[in-house]
Structure 1
Amino acid sequence: MSEQPATVPVPERQPLDEHAAASVLAYAAEQRAKVDVLASVLEDIAAHGYPAPETGVLWETARDAHLARLAEEQPRVA
């Protein structure tokens, strides 16, 4: 995936207003950061093997923490 934005204008597209464009860019940056974290975890597993099960987190605990984070987030418009 390229980190460079497309430079060729596409005539069929509608331009975004300044606020909407900033929101889209912020969302893209958040998603890129999440993917970078996932990639670093996978690279660590490839280099060092799987972590010991004793050091992990139960999936129920991870799920509950994630659901709590989602409940605290501000609503977004898709």
Structure 2
Amino acid sequence: MTDQPTRAGQQLDPTAVAGLQARAERTRSDADRYAVVLEDIATNGLPSVEDCTPWEELREAQLARLAAQRPAVA
């Protein structure tokens, strides 16, 4: 994209259009997943504490995944 501001009605370059469309699709997908979770909670109530994973375990698992993706430093 150029450094010039986009005026109303000005066409964006195809790369910018594709990027915006991809972002819109990801946003819709995220919203749909969130809506499903809320509908499940509304229908079934909150899960019991025994059925939940503590946030510390979720955090450690995510950190381990991120560390595995990071290239090793020699």
Same fold (TM over 0.5): yes
* Shift >4 Å, 4+ stretches: 64-71
TM-score by length of 2: 0.63
- In the alignment, structure 1 segments of 5+ residues that lack a partner are 1-10, 72-78
Greater relative CO, 1 or 2 (CA 8 Å, sep 6+): 2
Unpaired runs of at least 5, structure 2: 1-6, 68-74
Larger radius of gyration: 2
What do you get for the CA RMSD once the two structures are aligned?
Answer: 2.6
Please name the residue that 1:14 is paired with. 10
Structure-2 separation of matches of 1:66 and 1:29: 24
Q: Percent sequence identity over matched residues?
A: 46
1:1-78 correspondence runs (5 A): 12-65=8-61
**Equivalences, count:** 62
